[in-house]
Amino acid sequence: MNKKVNAFGVLCLGISLVGFAQQQIDSVQVQQLDQVVITDSKFKLKRENSGKVITKITQEELQHLQGKSVASIINATAGIEINGTKSNAGQNLNYYIRGGRNRQVVVLIDGIALTDASQISNDYDLRLLNAEQVESIEILKGASSTLYGSGAATAVINIKLKEASKRSISANFRSVIGSNQSQNDKSYNAEDFRNSVSINGTLNKFNYLASFGNQFTNGLSSLSSGIEPDKDAFNSVNGLLKLGYQFSNNFKIEAYGNFDDFKADFDDTYSGPEIDDVSETNQYRIGVSPEFKYKNGNITLNAAYNNTKRTINSSYPAIYKAESFVSDIFNRYQFNEKFYTVLGLNFQQNNMESFAIPYGSSDFEQNINPDNAKFTIIDPYANMVYISDFGLNINAGARLNNHSEYGSHLVYSLNPSFKKTTNFGYIKALTSYSTAYITPSLYQLFEPTYGNANLKPEENATIELGTELNIKDKAIFSIVYFNRKETNFINFVDLGSYVYQYENVDDSFNSSGIEFTGDFVLSKELKIKSNATYTKVEDDLNLRIPEFKVNASILYNVSNRAFMSLSYQFNDARTDAFFNDITYTTDKIVLKSYSLLDFYISHKLINNKVTLFANVTNILNEKYEELYGYSTLGRNVSLGLNISL
């Protein structure tokens, strides 16, 4: 039977169960707090008053996803495909959201937009982040440059790290051990080890949090043609220290420092598994975040310095170094219960340098000079939210981007919505039109062979139409149509005679689609979460993007201490490309669709202070490809222990 039919059959079955459950659940009282979101306005607003459909992954949900990476957790949400999450642990991650790519996604960590100025796409690598350090995740899709600047064209991933406990001292320890094998390996050897420890607390006006994490994963070759015992290991370490002081009811300050390092063995299709290729990334950040409250408002400063070094040992060795300083100061002012405003100023400064070994030489030489490869951005912005007492809500704003290389650029957004309160919950209709820009990276601007200092920013414009239905304490449904137009697309262009350069393409490109989500509370014990995405992308941009993608989970609280879940994911057929070393051309190939089934179970012991949990992923051991020529994970099992004191 066609897998696409199977996937949507599962979804339809879930919806049918809900129809039956609505008849059975009326007598069941389920307490559910109103969800609060912040990413679309920088204010804490009830979801029902937001003009966007925002996915929020809470700490409770994260506790039921223990043992998974941040990228894997995000990959199960509507409209998102993070390619590489099901391959070797060191596999590069590609973010395909609404037909976009890495450079069109902004990752926020505690309010700071993080980028890696050494990357061609200027993107933040989620492999650097330890899931144990995360408190919650909000995902806002659509063009959001008005609030978040360059790169916020298809999505903003807002990650909030954990904060100190209100107790004087608390501690947490987590350890996971599991297998890491392909579909052809049935040994279930222990090859995946993840450990983390944290200590935190509050002493009068002072609070602190310190955490450390490590992951070592081995056993799986990068290439599907890898010959045993070829294994490509991944080793990461993470450290975080947060200190805060509450000077008064009106003023507090928080400072932090962290390091995130990983080392990944890899193979490429050119050199094969016989050569020991290694990629290392070392990153450290320091930041400060003071906040001053006054009547009806507050002033917040988020400032951070980020330093990154990447070393590639392969057939084409290279060293990349980058520094960035980001400062975002904004004033939130609430005139009354209906009118909210944000005025802000964002400043960024980036520079990079690189080293390579020229042909015929054995020593590294500077390739990109940091005295030239630098730029600054100064962006004033304003945003307002109006919440009426008759259901109309408006979110609108504008930002003036001022770039040291290409001048000024204006982006804006308008997001009206209308909510109708009913005796069973509410119905909300929403629409938006928003624009975004994507700054050329330092590599694209200043690389001596391929760079182009005359590049202009990519521009995006997104239209959204949607509706959300909330059945109080029972279910919430949403469906959103989007259409995104992309202009000034930066492409790697063949100029002839083996000469390549980054250039803005004159043509415009479109992607469109529909995103559906449905969360159902069948009883106090049983919930169903589901989402489905249809994405239509023009052929020029259609790389590794599934036309259909479905996620569904059944979550069951067996008792106050025991929990289990069953998760399903369907990925439609995708187009990939590879270099043909016989014809010396880039050929396209269609990767088959696939379905995955995962199981999770946990049990709390000793006054809920000790939790035992287990994961079984790809239960049916399905064979599939995320990337042509590269291996993927088969059936794997992991066991974990979490101790909270």
The domain that holds 420 is classified in CATH as: 2.40.170.20
Which pLDDT does position 263 carry in this prediction?
94
β strands within 154-205, DSSP E: 155-161, 170-178, 192-203
User: Is the pLDDT assigned to residue 26 strictly greater than 90?
Assistant: no
Q: Which is more confident, 301 or 124?
A: 301
pTM score, two decimals?
Answer: 0.90
End-to-end CA separation in angstroms for the chain: 51
- Give dist(CA 376, CA 368) in Å, integer: 17
Please report where in the chains the tokens 């059944």 appear, as a residue.
Answer: 554
Residue 110, token pair as written in the block? 């505690």
Which pLDDT does position 206 carry in this prediction?
96
User: For residues 440, 446, 450 and 456, what is the CA-based torsion angle, rounded to 10 degrees?
Assistant: 30
User: Which whole number is the average pLDDT over 479-503?
Assistant: 90
Give the structural domain span for 290.
Answer: 3-644
Strands 155-161 and 105-109, by their bridges, are parallel
10 Å CB burial of residue 469 (0-12, 13-18, 19+) is: middle
Q: Report the candidate in 611, 610, 620 with the shortest Cα–Cα distance to residue 567.
A: 620
pLDDT digits (tens, 9 = 90+) for 369-419: 999 999 999 999 999 999 999 999 999 999 999 999 889 999 999 999 999
Residue 492, token pair as written in the block? 């790697």
Please report where in the chains the tokens 């064209």 appear, as a residue.
Answer: 153
Which pLDDT does position 1 carry in this prediction?
42
β strands within 267-338, DSSP E: 277-294, 297-313, 318-334
Secondary-structure breakdown of the chain: helix, strand, coil percentages, each rounded to the nearest 5? 10, 55, 35
Q: Report the candidate in 81, 54, 90 with the shortest Cα–Cα distance to residue 478.
A: 54
Contact between 257 and 243 under an 8 Å Cβ cutoff? The reply is no
SS3 498: coil
Name residue 83's beta-bridge partners.
94
Contact between 305 and 325 under an 8 Å Cβ cutoff? The reply is yes
Q: Count of domains in the chain?
A: 1
Q: Report the candidate in 346, 341, 321, 348 with the shortest Cα–Cα distance to residue 384.
A: 341
Q: Which is more confident, 339 or 30?
A: 339
User: Which whole number is the average pLDDT over 621-643?
Assistant: 94
- Give dist(CA 155, CA 605) in Å, integer: 39
Confidence of residue 228 (pLDDT cuts 50, 70, 90): low
User: Which whole number is the average pLDDT over 170-189?
Assistant: 93
Confidence of residue 130 (pLDDT cuts 50, 70, 90): confident
User: Which whole number is the average pLDDT over 226-255?
Assistant: 89
| CA angle, 178 then 83 then 187, to 5° | 25
Q: Which is more confident, 2 or 308?
A: 308
pLDDT digits (tens, 9 = 90+) for 422-458: 999 999 999 999 999 999 999 999 999 899 999 999 9
